[in-house]
């Protein structure tokens, strides 16, 4: 354990300060494709009974009209977080009719024609059309199939009071906002250094349905008649087959400080890119097909395992919110859906993430040099494609180190953070979760990716049949536990209110869409 981590843990562990750690804020965003009973991507519109995808606070869509996104309120306890996620699932399933939610990060059986994958629709308001046109841009840039990949986003922040205590401990003279932003950026740097560990421990997409890669070059191995895989992969979702695409491979987003991050992101948003310029912003019929022809339309197009975040105001760009008011929380974006958990993620996973992120926040985090940036990317790629390979080595400061040895060493340090959270919450759950992860490093067969491959084999070497069976089992789990009448009424009122809000936004627009886009992009 480094002296810095030891000092911070001792400082925060004193009883007068420890209670401040009870204010951790958490949020989960869980994506799932709507599918037919036969496991085919649903072609239906987002159910009206679920409310407006534009304005509903907890039930929306992401890329596709069929890609449901369930969002918890911000919670300060893991128990409250998962109770909210469970209740949102139970309501959602009650409104799906014969449809199901696909339980894998990699897509279900997709249409043969890319054009038959429906893009999310958010109504005719300017902000709704902006979201829709942005998705049209993603479609022509990367293809619609890639946008059907689903995942878990874990939002996390330390209480403001904890940052204030740490700033006093450090004797730092910056403003509270600047100190907090700098510390979150340091947390992100450490996360990027060690995110390969999360891929090994929680990656759950070692295989895909062959329909996902129809017409694309790949180096996957055939598994049965209609599945593809890599034998030691953990998360093909986070490989170059998924979100890490070629157009963005040359981007150099800097995490050495918030100003550098904003500057490098603004450069990417304004960087001309010839292939997109050839497409133009409008199609042959004069319809909008992308917001601009730069390398990124907006900063959300940059696919990253983690993002600094700030709640935005209506019509405000995320990078503008960060520049104005600093980093408020971080969004972990690399977590696969756990197909063995009805909610897509287990409370034990959230507890480990809390321990892991606390470690990233308190451990030394020097600024990145170019060589280390490249090294972290190589380690991440090795973990997603070959993570369970016996004897696999990663690179630590230019030296080879076995993934298992490095992982166990990291867990030894993270264990001290878990123990502090146990003391704070009067529980042993955080240390118990860490023990589960230690067991996975000693026995790769316990990892979700290995368990997925075992289940695929049990289902006749069919990724599709395994995932469809799990989807059906999870549907039965939620349908057998209907919400009480009062809760159902509350969800229905929330859905109706969101539809009313969308209609009001559409009626209130007082500028044309072209002007709105110019104004939005000029921030």
Residues 6+ apart with CB under 8 A from 27: 71, 72, 73, 74, 75, 81, 154, 155
Instruction: Give pLDDT, residue 246.
Output: 62
> Between 15 and 49, whose confidence is greater?
49
User: Please, what's the b/e burial string for 460-471 (b: 16 or more CB within 10 A of its CB; e: otherwise)?
Assistant: ebbbbbbbbbbb
Q: What are phi and psi of 411, to 5 degrees?
A: -65, -30
Radius of gyration of the chain (CA): 23
Q: What is the pLDDT of residues 448-495, one digit of tens each?
A: 999 999 999 999 999 999 999 999 999 999 999 999 999 999 999 999
- In terms of phi and psi (left: phi > 0; alpha: psi -120 to 50; beta: otherwise), the region of 426 is left
Q: In this prediction, what percent of the chain has a pLDDT beyond 70?
A: 99
Q: What is the pLDDT of residues 398-449, one digit of tens each?
A: 999 999 999 999 999 999 999 999 999 999 999 999 999 999 999 999 999 9
Mean pLDDT for the chain overall: 95
Check pLDDT > 70 for residue 25. Answer: yes
Instruction: Give pLDDT, residue 243.
Output: 58
Instruction: Give pLDDT, residue 384.
Output: 97
Instruction: Give pLDDT, residue 332.
Output: 98
Q: Where does the pLDDT of residue 244 fall: very low under 50, low under 70, confident under 90, or very high at 90 and above?
A: low
Helix (H) / strand (E) element for 258: namely: helix 258-270
Q: In this prediction, what percent of the chain has a pLDDT beyond 90?
A: 87
Tokens for 36, please give them: 């037919």
Q: Where does the pLDDT of residue 211 fall: very low under 50, low under 70, confident under 90, or very high at 90 and above?
A: confident
The answer to which of 38-52, 301-315, 348-362, 464-478 has the lowest mean pLDDT is 301-315
Instruction: Give pLDDT, residue 343.
Output: 98
Instruction: Give pLDDT, residue 112.
Output: 86
Check pLDDT > 90 for residue 310. Answer: yes
Q: What is the pLDDT of residues 150-189, one digit of tens each?
A: 999 999 999 999 999 999 999 999 999 999 999 999 999 9
Kindly list the structural domains of the chain, giving each domain's residue range(s) and its CATH number in brackets, ordered by start: 24-393+448-521 (3.30.590.20)
Q: Where does the pLDDT of residue 223 fall: very low under 50, low under 70, confident under 90, or very high at 90 and above?
A: very high
């Amino acid at each position: 354990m480094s002296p810095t981590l030891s000092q911070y843990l001792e400082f925060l562990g004193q009883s007068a300060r420890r209670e401040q750690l009870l204010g951790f804020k958490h949020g989960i965003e869980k994506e799932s494709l709507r599918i037919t009973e036969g496991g085919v991507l649903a072609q239906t519109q987002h159910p009206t009974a679920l409310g407006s995808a534009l304005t509903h606070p907890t039930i929306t869509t992401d890329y596709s009209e069929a890609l449901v996104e369930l969002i918890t309120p911000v919670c300060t306890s893991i128990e409250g977080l998962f109770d909210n996620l469970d209740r949102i699932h139970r309501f959602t399933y009650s409104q799906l009719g014969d449809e199901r939610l696909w339980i894998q990060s990699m897509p279900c059986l997709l249409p043969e024609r890319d054009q038959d994958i429906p893009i999310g629709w958010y109504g005719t308001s300017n902000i709704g059309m902006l979201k829709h046109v942005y998705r049209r841009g993603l479609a022509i840039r990367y293809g619609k199939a890639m946008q059907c990949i689903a995942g878990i986003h874990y939002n996390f922040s330390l209480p403001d009071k904890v940052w204030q205590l740490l700033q006093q401990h450090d004797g730092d003279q910056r403003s509270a906002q600047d100190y907090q932003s700098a510390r979150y950026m340091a947390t992100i740097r450490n996360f990027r250094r060690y995110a390969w560990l999360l891929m090994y421990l929680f990656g759950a997409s070692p295989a895909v349905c062959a329909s996902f890669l129809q017409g694309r070059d790949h180096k996957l191995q055939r598994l049965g008649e209609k599945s593809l895989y890599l034998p030691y992969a953990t998360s093909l979702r986070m490989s170059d087959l998924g979100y890490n695409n070629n157009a963005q491979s040359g981007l150099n987003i800097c995490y050495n400080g918030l100003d550098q991050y904003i500057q490098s992101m603004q450069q990417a948003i304004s960087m001309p890119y010839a292939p997109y310029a050839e497409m133009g912003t409008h199609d042959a019929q004069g319809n909008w097909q992308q917001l601009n022809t730069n390398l990124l339309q907006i900063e959300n197009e940059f696919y990253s395992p983690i993002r600094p975040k700030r709640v935005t105001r209506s019509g405000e760009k995320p990078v503008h919110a960060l520049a104005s008011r600093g980093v408020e929380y971080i969004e972990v974006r690399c977590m696969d859906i756990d197909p063995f958990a009805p909610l897509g993620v287990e409370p034990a996973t959230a507890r480990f993430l809390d321990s892991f992120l606390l470690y990233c926040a308190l451990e030394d985090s020097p600024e990145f040099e170019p060589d280390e940036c490249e090294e972290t990317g190589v380690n991440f790629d090795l973990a997603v494609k070959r993570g369970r390979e016996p004897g696999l080595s990663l690179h630590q400061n230019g030296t080879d180190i076995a993934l298992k040895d490095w992982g166990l060493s990291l867990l030894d340090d993270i264990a001290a953070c878990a123990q502090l959270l146990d003391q704070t919450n009067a529980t042993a759950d955080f240390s118990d979760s860490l023990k589960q992860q230690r067991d996975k490093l000693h026995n790769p067969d316990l990892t979700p990716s290995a368990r997925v491959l075992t289940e695929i084999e049990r289902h006749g070497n069919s990724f599709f049949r395994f995932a469809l069976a799990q989807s059906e089992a999870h549907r039965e789990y939620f349908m057998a536990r209907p919400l009480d009448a009062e809760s159902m009424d509350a969800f229905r009122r929330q859905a109706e209110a969101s539809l009313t809000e969308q209609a009001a936004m559409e009626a209130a627009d007082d500028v044309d869409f072209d002007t709105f886009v110019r104004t939005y992009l000029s921030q």
